[in-house]
Amino acid sequence: MSQSVKTNHGNIPYLECPQYLAELMQCPSDYENIMENYTGRVISRLAFGVPDHYLEIRQYSHGLLKAISPAAYITNIIPQLRFLPSWVSPWKWTEKRRHAEERVFFMRMHDEVAARMNAKTAKTSFMRHVLERKVETGLSDEEAAYIVGMIGLAGVLTTSSALMTYLLAMTLYPEWQARLQTEVDTICGERMPELSDAPRMPILRAVIMELLRWRPITPSSMSSLYYLRQ
Ligand code: HEM
> Using one digit for the tens of pLDDT, what is the confidence trace for 3-37?
777 777 888 999 999 999 999 999 999 999 999 99
**Longest alpha-carbon distance in the chain:** 65
Ligand 1 center to 45 CA (angstroms):
17
DSSP reduced 3-state for 124: coil
This prediction's pTM: 0.90
> Residue 37: enclosing H or E segment and its boundaries?
helix 31-48
Ligand 1 center to 99 CA (angstroms):
20
218 lines ligand 1 (CB under 6 A): yes
* Residues 85-138 pLDDT 10s: 998 898 999 999 999 999 999 999 999 999 999 999 999 999 999 999 999 999
DSSP reduced 3-state for 6: coil
* Residues 47-88 pLDDT 10s: 999 999 999 999 999 999 888 888 888 888 898 998 999 988
Q: How far apart are CA 202 and CA 180, in angstroms?
A: 10
* Residues 135-168 pLDDT 10s: 999 999 999 999 999 999 999 999 999 999 999 9
Ligand 1 center to 227 CA (angstroms):
20
